């Protein structure tokens, strides 16, 4: 009884906070200080395989004989707001990362997970197979623990170590960089694109139609997932970096860069056509030059942005609806390789939501 | 404006649902169908170290020279309800597991994370260093991918493969077992108790006073954390399995079992005394025999329960407030090694909350 009484007392506070938070914060859906009101939340594994060792399992006997290993699934954590929009957002991290990509930003603000929950989207966060909470792999692996963070500082376009790029949208508080480095995780099995795409397709089989949000390495995997599963109704891709698919005979010449050549990937016309049936938007951040230079982090993204432009052209040439937004072109400056967690990520979220709204997907 | 209008329309629904959910569900705080109302949620890394390779980093040059590796931190995901209770619950998984332990149960119901959020506790979920989302390790590792699940089925006291123990509180839907196996993850670096305790102590330094909830392997690490950090104001330990600490000269004889001998760990009297200053409760599930037998899963827990009883006696002998609850003794039957995610986990949660209430910790 006391329990219930306390909750009743708390009610007016809840309602008032929801009300005033929204009344004050237009045009954004909700202020970060307003309560989050969820219908449900949870997590599950999806997809994957089962390996069985030959022989017979005997109680108390050591060794793998007759035993199983369930692995290669994705881990999914979801939250459903009250009064949700129809299509959920499925957020897929990039290389060396996991679901944390979309959570609290390195400097401690809300990431896309909570920002879009506040805007009433159901949000599903992925850990792809053999990464983070989906660590159980059916194939053995060695983890090197080799120091490599100055290279990532450069590749993720924070700057040229130890200097940040001028005007970069990343906090100069050393704790932000500490958190940023610590959000990386190793692969617990060989990185296998097919295994990853299988698991993500299995997720859409389970939850039905939704919008796929990809980042970097998962950009290319996202195109594969669309070719596999028509439940993906749109793709929002932040800085896709590889795996650009083109119809056979239309693959552009590989593009040399300081980090090696970037090649397109040939698929059948039928496969490619799946990418022309849904709205797609690609966002790229700042500090991406058009001419070759001496900074690998910049030159790496020079060819990726160039290839992305050819890719968007190819999709649209075949009747598709793809758009590339180079953020500085629309006046949004200083973004790193992680626009969704940069200091201006609410502005970046507004752009994404405007796109979804324009396409009738919200 | 449309955005705000929609939220206003949704308000009466939110308030009504919160109200009716609570009005109908006494004595439990909330029904699973009532909305969850959160003040905040997020995630961060805490603790850990930084390794620096000798040499000088040069932009574009391969190899670790002069580069850093931030690793050995814990990952923490937290949620703070509106109108929270004073002390947060910090939940620490066991061997081979990660924060998933406390999330959705294998059969798809709410786990302790959400159950206790509904009861207005702030909840912090840990991934200990070198596990799950805290995968970045400063020490290299090999991951074997060896099939071993029939052994875990037995060790976690679901049954003697392929048979479940009679009356066990685990769903017989094959999907539940599929999910259960897939919630395991490998160590991404050597399992190092000191590294784990350091990171958890760092968490309590950051968040201040709280209640530590441990499971299995983290039970023993939890005693170490209490000896390190006085911000831990109580411990709820589900089936602690090893690392029972005793004052020097009072360590009991090792207990032989089918899974090897179980030994106590000697600490100084000053260290041990920290464990006498806070309320501690230990819960053990069902199917734990008092006599040796042929089933390793049963015999393993026979000695662990016996050692736990000696440990509770030692704490209380030195002026402490420790209690051991063998669930069948209070009429709660069929529990596995994971009582908090078993079919009767709401009952298990009620017991825990009653303990916290009795000790003035809620």
Please say if the pLDDT value at position A314 is more than 60.
yes
Strands (E) in B93-247, as ranges, are: 123-127, 141-143, 159-160, 163-164, 210-215, 232-238, 245-247
**Is B73 touching A (CB cutoff 8 A)?**
yes
Q: Rounded mean pLDDT of A47-67?
A: 95
Tokens found for residue A125: 């966060």
| pLDDT at residue A1, as a whole number | 29
Tokens found for residue A128: 């792809």
**Is B128 touching A (CB cutoff 8 A)?**
no
State whether B145 and A35 contact (CB < 8 Å).
no
Q: What is the pLDDT of residues B140-166, one digit of tens each?
A: 999 999 999 999 999 999 999 999 999
Please say if the pLDDT value at position A212 is more than 90.
yes
Cβ atoms within 10 Å of A276's Cβ, excluding its own: 16
Share of chain B above pLDDT 70, in %: 91
**Cβ neighbours of A41 in B, within 8 Å:** 36, 114
State whether B37 and A51 contact (CB < 8 Å).
no
Cβ atoms within 10 Å of A331's Cβ, excluding its own: 7
The ipTM estimated for the assembled molecules is 0.91
Q: Rounded mean pLDDT of A306-324?
A: 98
Q: Rounded mean pLDDT of A29-36?
A: 74
Please say if the pLDDT value at position B58 is more than 50.
yes
Please give, rounded to a whole number of angstroms, the shortest distance from the CA of B327 to a CA of chain A. Answer: 25
Overall size of chain B counted in residues: 362
State whether A147 and B53 contact (CB < 8 Å).
yes
| pLDDT at residue B1, as a whole number | 29
The dihedral over CA atoms of A107, A113, A119, A124, expressed in degrees to the nearest 10, equals 180
| pLDDT at residue B62, as a whole number | 86
- What value does the mean pLDDT of chain A take? 92
pLDDT tier at B31, thresholds 50, 70, 90: low
How far apart CA A346 and CA A211 sit, in angstroms, is 19
Residue with the larger pLDDT of the pair A294 and A6 = A294
Q: Which of A2-6, A25-29, A326-330, B300-304 has the lowest mean pLDDT?
A: A2-6
The H or E element spanning position B50 is: strand B49-52
Residue in chain A closest to B14 (alpha carbons) equals A82
pLDDT tier at A19, thresholds 50, 70, 90: very low
Please give, rounded to a whole number of angstroms, the shortest distance from the CA of A45 to a CA of chain B. Answer: 6
Q: Which of A8-17, A262-271, B170-179, B295-304 has the lowest mean pLDDT?
A: A8-17
State whether A45 and B178 contact (CB < 8 Å).
yes
Angle (deg, nearest 10), helices B2-24 and A2-24: 180
**Cβ neighbours of A120 in B, within 8 Å:** 6
Q: What is the pLDDT of residues B37-50, one digit of tens each?
A: 999 999 999 999 99
State whether B37 and A41 contact (CB < 8 Å).
no
Q: Rounded mean pLDDT of B98-124?
A: 98
Residue with the larger pLDDT of the pair A170 and B28 = A170
| pLDDT at residue B175, as a whole number | 98
Q: What is the pLDDT of residues A81-116, one digit of tens each?
A: 999 999 999 999 999 999 999 999 999 999 999 999
State whether A135 and B140 contact (CB < 8 Å).
no
Q: Rounded mean pLDDT of B58-69?
A: 94
| pLDDT at residue B336, as a whole number | 98
How far apart CA B320 and CA A322 sit, in angstroms, is 67
């Amino acid at each position: 009884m006391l329990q219930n009484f306390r909750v009743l007392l708390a009610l007016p506070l809840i309602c008032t906070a929801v009300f005033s938070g929204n009344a004050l914060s237009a045009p954004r859906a909700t202020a970060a200080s307003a309560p989050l009101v969820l219908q449900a939340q949870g997590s599950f594994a999806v997809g994957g395989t089962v390996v069985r060792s030959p022989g017979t399992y005997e109680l108390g006997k050591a060794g793998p004989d007759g035993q199983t290993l369930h692995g290669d699934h994705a881990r999914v954590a979801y939250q459903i707001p009250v009064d949700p929009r129809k299509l959920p957002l499925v957020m897929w991290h990039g290389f060396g990362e996991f679901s944390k990509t979309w959570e609290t930003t390195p400097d401690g603000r809300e990431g896309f997970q909570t920002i879009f929950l506040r805007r009433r989207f159901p949000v599903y966060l992925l850990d792809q197979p053999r990464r983070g909470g989906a660590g159980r792999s059916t194939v053995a692996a060695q983890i090197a623990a080799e120091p490599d963070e100055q290279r990532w500082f450069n590749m993720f376009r924070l700057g040229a170590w130890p200097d940040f790029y001028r005007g970069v949208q990343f906090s100069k508080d050393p704790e932000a960089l500490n958190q940023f480095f610590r959000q990386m995780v190793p692969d617990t099995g060989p990185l296998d694109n097919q295994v990853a795409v299988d698991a993500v397709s299995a997720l859409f089989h389970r939850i039905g139609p939704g919008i796929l949000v990809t980042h970097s390495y998962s950009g290319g995997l996202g195109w594969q997932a669309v070719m596999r599963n028509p439940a993906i109704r749109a793709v929002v891709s932040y800085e896709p970096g590889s795996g650009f698919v083109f119809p056979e005979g239309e693959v552009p010449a590989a593009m040399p860069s300081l980090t090696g050549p970037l090649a397109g990937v040939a698929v059948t016309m039928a496969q490619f056509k799946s990418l022309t049936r849904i709205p797609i938007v690609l966002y790229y951040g700042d500090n991406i030059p058009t001419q070759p230079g001496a900074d690998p982090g910049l030159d790496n993204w020079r060819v990726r942005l160039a290839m992305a432009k050819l890719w968007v052209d190819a999709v649209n040439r075949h009747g598709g609806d793809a758009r590339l937004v180079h953020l500085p072109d629309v006046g949004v400056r200083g973004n790193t390789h992680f626009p969704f967690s940069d200091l201006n990520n609410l502005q970046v979220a507004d752009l994404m939501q405007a796109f979804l709204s324009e396409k009738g997907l919200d």
